[in-house]
Structure 1
Amino acid sequence: MTARHKRIVFIIIGLCAVGAASAMITQAMKSNLAYLYAPEAVWAGEAPKDRLIRIGGLVKKGSLIRSDTSLDLSFVVTDNRGNEVTVKYDKILPDLFKEEQSAVVKGKLTENNEFIAEEVLAKHDAEYMPPELADVLAKEHAPKTDAASPTKTEVKY
């Protein structure tokens, strides 16, 4: 075999190795993918069963039910259009989790449209601000009086 043939064989083997590695990486990434569905899509049958997905919506007021003896709890995620999904969870909820707030839950949907969650993500409203930062901003943006005319106020931004 000449040097040219050896190079061609080496290139072909290299391309096969790159193709196999790409296929394995793609397959691994597919298994970690979790698409986000709204409760409406769940009830329309668009969400796959027994596969890792995410469901997003609002936590229905009065739907949070905790167990007295364990961490088990359930709540309802709704889209405020009458579509609701019951979520079962057996871990500690995030601190920002509240009823009537946005939440995203990651887990698997059962055949009877009950969602078994592995992870709960709570979203705070856009107006949230830590108290320390609110105090600093209030002091910086407090109206200052002008020495020449005490009736005028100047606000610096």
Structure 2
Amino acid sequence: MKRKNQRLILLVLAVVSVVGAVLLAMSAMRDQAAFFYAPGDVARKGLPLDRAVRIGGMVKDGSIQRRPDGVTIDFVVGDETAHVIPVQFTGITPELFRENSGVVAEGRFQPDGRFVATEILARHDENYMPPRLGPQGQHKTDTLER
């Protein structure tokens, strides 16, 4: 076999291997993908009961209710439409999670319309500043009073 044909065969095998690996990875990731829904989308399209999804919106004012176990909370997520989604989450919420703030919750819808979240991500606006940084982006120094 000529050297030119050997290189061509190796190149074809490499391309087929890479394409096969990409297809295998994509099929494995298909089940892991979480789609994003706003409350208005859920109202229009119905509940996606068959897969994990993400919902996003604003935590409605006065909706956060903590259960006696200390780690489970119930709250309501809404958007600019009048639609809302009741959410239940068990775990520790992010520091920025509060009423009238943005939230993204990952989990599954239940047949009764309730969303059971496995993860909560608090959103902030583009002006977010870490607590230890001042307005000009310089570190604040903690001072101790004696």
**TM norm. shorter chain > 0.5:** yes
| Number of aligned residue pairs | 136
Q: Which residue of 1 aligns with 2:134?
A: 133
Q: Which residue of 2 aligns with 1:111?
A: 111
Gaps in structure 1 of 5+ consecutive residues: 138-157
Distance in 2 (alpha carbons) for counterparts of 1:128 and 1:18: 41
Normalised by the size of structure 2, how large is the TM-score? 0.76
Gaps in structure 2 of 5+ consecutive residues: 139-146
CA contact (8 A) 2:107 2:119 kept: yes
Q: CA 1:10–1:108 in 2, change beyond 3 Å: closer, same or farther?
A: same
Q: CA RMSD in A?
A: 2.8
Normalised by the size of structure 1, how large is the TM-score? 0.71
Larger helix proportion, structure 1 or 2? Answer: 1
Question: What code does the residue aligned with 2:48 have?
Answer: P
Distance in 2 (alpha carbons) for counterparts of 1:102 and 1:54: 13
Query: Following TM superposition, by how much is the alpha carbon of 1:57 offset from its aligned partner in structure 2, in angstroms?
Result: 0.5
Distance in 2 (alpha carbons) for counterparts of 1:127 and 1:17: 46
Could you tell me the percent identity over the aligned residues? 33
Question: What code does the residue aligned with 1:39 have?
Answer: P
Query: Following TM superposition, by how much is the alpha carbon of 1:62 offset from its aligned partner in structure 2, in angstroms?
Result: 1.2
Q: CA 1:39–1:12 in 2, change beyond 3 Å: closer, same or farther?
A: same
Distance in 1 (alpha carbons) for counterparts of 2:16 and 2:40: 44
Residue 27 (structure 1) aligned with residue 27 (structure 2):
yes
Q: Which residue of 2 aligns with 1:88?
A: 88
Q: CA 1:16–1:107 in 2, change beyond 3 Å: closer, same or farther?
A: same
Distance in 1 (alpha carbons) for counterparts of 2:54 and 2:9: 46
Residue 62 (structure 1) aligned with residue 62 (structure 2):
yes
Question: What code does the residue aligned with 2:135 have?
Answer: A
Return 73-82 or 26-35, whichever deviates more.
Answer: 26-35
Query: Following TM superposition, by how much is the alpha carbon of 1:54 offset from its aligned partner in structure 2, in angstroms?
Result: 0.9
Return 115-124 or 46-55, whichever deviates more.
Answer: 46-55
Q: CA 1:128–1:25 in 2, change beyond 3 Å: closer, same or farther?
A: closer
Name which one, 1 or 2, has greater alpha-carbon Rg. Answer: 1
Question: What code does the residue aligned with 2:68 have?
Answer: D
CA contact (8 A) 2:47 2:113 kept: no
